[in-house]
Amino acid sequence: MTAAERAALAADISQASRLTGTFTLRSGQVSDQYFDKYRFEAEPALLGRVAAAMLPLVPAEAEVLAGLELGGVPIATAMSLQGGRSAAFVRKAAKTYGTCLAVEGGDVAGKRVAMIEDVISTGGAVVDAAALLREAGAEIVAVVCAIWRGAGEPAIPGLSCPVYAAFRMSELP
């Protein structure tokens, strides 16, 4: 992706999804800006460009792309379609019916997995999903997100794998 294409994608993500007001984030933090990821995930062309920007961040050894409920699922699916890796989908909790699984789709037991998320502030949802993936037998090799809105370099306390972001919040105009 060229610098011009990257800048255009950042502008398009921001235009499609940046909201201003007063928002309480999952972490409990209050922010005057919110990225409604469903607005960029619902646009096929924009979702495809986001997935294309994230694919090079996935470590070569990753065998499965695990999308986190709910926003990471469409991104992982788009990345799977473009990159050819299998996908899995991590629920916030195991279903109480049917298969009663927390991790759906491809089998992750004994596989190296890259977790796919939309927007990360503190990583609480990622830590929760990582525990479910480990319980299912996965080896987590990385976390890849569309937007890192946390402070400093992408890293999640309590998670011992690298975190890669297609964009930092500061890069979105």
The pLDDT tens digits of the residues spanning 5-27 come to 999 999 999 999 999 999 998 88
Q: How many residues does the chain have?
A: 173
Assess whether pLDDT exceeds 90 at residue 61: yes
Per the model's pLDDT, the better-predicted residue between 35 and 129 turns out to be 129
Assess whether pLDDT exceeds 90 at residue 154: yes
Assess whether pLDDT exceeds 90 at residue 95: no
What confidence category does residue 133 fall into, taking pLDDT thresholds of 50, 70 and 90? very high
Q: What is the pLDDT of residue 29?
A: 87
| 24-30 long-range contacts, CB within 8 A, separation 24+ | 25/121, 26/121, 26/122, 26/124, 26/125, 27/121, 27/122, 27/124, 29/121, 29/122
Identify residue 167 by its one-letter amino acid code. Answer: F
pTM of the model: 0.95
Domain ranges for the chain, please list them: 3-171
CA torsion angle 18 118 167 108 (round to 10): -170
Identify any residues that bridge with 90 across adjacent strands, giving them in sequence order: 68, 103
| CATH number at 3-171 | 3.40.50.2020
Residue 161 has a CB neighbour count (10 Å cut-off) of 18
Per the model's pLDDT, the better-predicted residue between 150 and 50 turns out to be 50
